[in-house]
Amino acid sequence: MNHNKKIDLAGGGYCLSAPRFPRFQTAPGFADEVLISNAPLPALYALAFVEKGAPRALQLEKVELEQGKAILSYVDATGLRVVERRSITQDDRFVSVIDLHNTGKEDREITVVMWSTTDPEGEPVSLEGDSYRIRRNLKVEAQPEVPVEIHYSSPDSKGGRCLQAYFCEGGSDRPDYEETPWYDLEELPTPRAKRVMEKPSPIIAGSRVYCGLFRVVPLKAGGKAQHRFEANVIFKGKGINFRSRRPDPKDENSWQAFWEKVPKFSCDWKELERVVKHRFELLYLLRAPHGAGNFSSPAVCEGNGPFHVPTSFSTPAIMREARWLQDPTLARGCLKLFFDNLLHNGQVPGRVFMAGTTQDFYHADWGGGFESLDAIHSDKATKKAVLMAMQRYVKWLANNRDPEGSGLTDIVNHFEAGQEFSRRYTVIDEKADRAVEMLEQFRLKGVDASTYRYRMVKWLHKVADEIQEKAMANRFQAEVEVIQDTIRRKMWDEKAGLFMDLDPDNRRKTNVKAAVGFYPLATDIPNPKMVERMLDTLGDRKEFWTKYPVPSVSISDPYYDATGRWKGTRKNCPWNGRVWPNMNCHILEGLTMWAERGNKKAQKLAGDLLRKTITMMSGAIEGSESPNSFEHYNPETGIGSRYRGVHRFLNAHVLDNAFRIAGGFAIRYGEIQDDPIMADQPDFKLQGMPLGNKLFDVERKNGRLKISPH
């Protein structure tokens, strides 16, 4: 493994180690950023190997990843070999299992020191004889606090001893033992008894608390020893008291349990094979269980860093990724989590935190996600569980985002559609890009928001009809007809060849060619003549067909920028020309719909766009075999937003498009049907694909599709 490649670890709990900008990932312990639910800690703990008062200078030999664990091998000049097996368990324990091997000819004694730092505020550190405990309410900006208790220990046998903790002024954040207050002492001090630290008065601003424990390990010549060090995270505070059960010791990070339920995919197109496996890896890393606080159901977080929380913007796409797992619990949980936590007024929360929700809101394709989930894992109980809440949400949309009853849906700030920094909004309000809060600033009838609402009410009509809610079904059907007719009449721009946002003040189209204008392709809103115009516009090299399409606005837009700069500054989330996989997936879905109806142009564009999207996400452009999942990509070079640090981002339904277009099979009426789209369908095997309560093997060989029970 490349030593510079990021090491990402999770265990199916609420914690994640996937640092955005790692500096010390090859230092023993967890010395880089970790995520405790949605709250980041700059570091958790470091490990040092001390002999005769001085830390041994270890040299890294190799890094391996094995079954969700990082195995780091070190050696020093005196014949000491150290192997660290680093992992996170299902019950949120950050674990380092240390193997020590004295390859020399003399006996020696190594002291393993585990230490961490914390702020002097809040509850004082509890020193507990052989361990120590830190309690804090972790807070990120205006988000709800995460009540955390972290217990640091070396639990495998007796012999671990707590270090005397100290308040210290200054110091760096490096995992260097020489900077600790114990380095220049003749002996490692221990507290006289189990007790809580006494705080000094006054507490000096910028000071920190050094706390730790140590274990003395005698090693005979040629001798070996193994010891475990861990930080156990418990969520305990106002309204939350959660401690998960200990996992199976043979599968602590639930690696085996997860991958046993994942279909096995192999393909002649190796870039696609890598990307498909990577998408399942993202589900493994970013999933969260149920039980703590608002987590009434299992769910999947959007990404690493500030995105380590379930968001409504991404969850419909995540449901479509998770539906390919043999166990539907995770995909159904993603849906239930948000509608279990519906706000009192019927609004879907933008994000669900362990200890609360916030008032932010995102438009999202709930209808498309729910319908796709039901196609593979149909379940009336799930429909009944969420239908009433979804009806309340539809009413909230009508009352708050379409108060005049036009049939079109408003976007009221530049964050709400998940597409900030775009001329879509500044044509309505020139100060739209200055907003930092998700408050109402303007009104824009959005193509994407209106299409999402249309798909949702159309799907809910089917659901209500199926479960015999006839009055509700009739209301939904009436709304479907109004929305479809209004989008078709009011938002279509024949000259531009795509649908456009509408300024509700003057009822005029904004004349901004944004890629969301292709979203209606995935519905029955456009007629065949409109579809032909849209395909021409999409495939136009002067508009949207860049080397790596599809840019979020057309090349002809005055604010178009391939590098992510908006008004001279490179932005974290720019939507003025970058390629976003979630947008590509919506467009691919639309192309597929018309390719299925025999449109040759749609078939070609679908195949070409999938190839280019997979190439971007496979690592091939950078000469790597490590697939990636960045937020957005350069439409000219295909290189992703590495500068953002967010390298685990899950907000696109890639698997749906990969299996539908490259696999050439469709799921219809509870069956797997052969329906090729690409001219040269690759040979592949998909073993253990779920459908209903059965598993199937789907294989294409020499152009012929074979479906058999698993």
Kindly report, residue by residue over 564-589, the tens digit of the pLDDT: 999 999 999 999 999 999 999 999 99
Tell which phi-psi region holds residue 472, choosing left (phi > 0), alpha (psi between -120 and 50) or beta. Answer: alpha
Q: Looking at residues 63-71, what average pLDDT do you find?
A: 97
| Radius of gyration of the chain, Cα coordinates, nearest whole angstrom | 27
Q: Are 426 and 433 in contact (CB under 8 A)?
A: yes
Question: 688 in a domain, yes or no?
Answer: no
Query: Domain with 152 in it: what CATH number?
Result: 2.70.98
Question: 64 in a domain, yes or no?
Answer: yes
In the prediction, which pLDDT does 1 show?
A: 60
pLDDT interval class at 205 (50, 70, 90):
confident
Q: Strands, E, within 178-223: which ranges? A: 195-196, 208-219
- Report how many domains make up the chain: 2
Cα within 13 Å of Cα(491), Cβ side: 33
Q: Which of 242, 268, 293 is the last residue of a domain?
A: 242
The pTM assigned to this predicted structure is 0.97
**Count of C-beta atoms within a 10 Å radius of residue 272:** 26
401, β-bridge pairs = none
In the prediction, which pLDDT does 2 show?
A: 65
Question: 148 in a domain, yes or no?
Answer: yes
CA distance 640 to 629: 8
pLDDT interval class at 356 (50, 70, 90):
confident
Question: 286 in a domain, yes or no?
Answer: no
Question: 63 in a domain, yes or no?
Answer: yes
89-109 pLDDT, tens digit per residue, is 999 999 999 999 999 999 999
Residue with tokens 């009410």: 457
Name every residue whose Cβ is closer than 8 Å to that of residue 468 and which is 6 or more positions away in sequence: none
In the prediction, which pLDDT does 357 show?
A: 86
Averaged pLDDT of the chain: 96
CA distance 174 to 171: 9
Q: Which two three-digit tokens encode residue 615? A: 């190439």
Percentage of the chain lying above the pLDDT 70 cut: 100
Residue with tokens 């539908």: 660
Q: Are 629 and 650 in contact (CB under 8 A)?
A: yes
Evaluate if residue 602 carries a pLDDT over 70. Answer: yes
Q: Angle, to 10 degrees, between the axis of helix 470-486 and the axis of helix 447-466?
A: 150
Domain that holds residue 116: 9-242
Question: 299 in a domain, yes or no?
Answer: no
- The CA-atom distances, in angstroms, between 212 and each of 42, 159, 160, 175, 334 are 17, 14, 10, 13, 39
| Closest residue by Cα to residue 646 from 3, 13, 15, 16 | 16
Read out DSSP for 123-134?
Answer: SPPEE-SS-EEE
158, β-bridge pairs = 160
| Closest residue by Cα to residue 256 from 87, 20, 436, 427 | 87
Evaluate if residue 3 carries a pLDDT over 80. Answer: no
Q: What is the tally of helices (H) and strands (E) in the chain?
A: 13, 39
Question: 613 in a domain, yes or no?
Answer: no
Q: Looking at residues 116-131, what average pLDDT do you find?
A: 93
> Burial level of 587, CB count in 10 A (0-12/13-18/19+)?
buried
CA distance 373 to 389: 18
In the prediction, which pLDDT does 580 show?
A: 98
Question: 605 in a domain, yes or no?
Answer: no
pLDDT interval class at 372 (50, 70, 90):
very high
In the prediction, which pLDDT does 192 show?
A: 87
In the prediction, which pLDDT does 645 show?
A: 96
pLDDT interval class at 460 (50, 70, 90):
very high
Q: Which of 506, 532, 558 is the last residue of a domain?
A: 532
Q: Which two three-digit tokens encode residue 562? A: 């391939």
CA distance 455 to 66: 42
Q: Which of 216, 242, 268 is the last residue of a domain?
A: 242
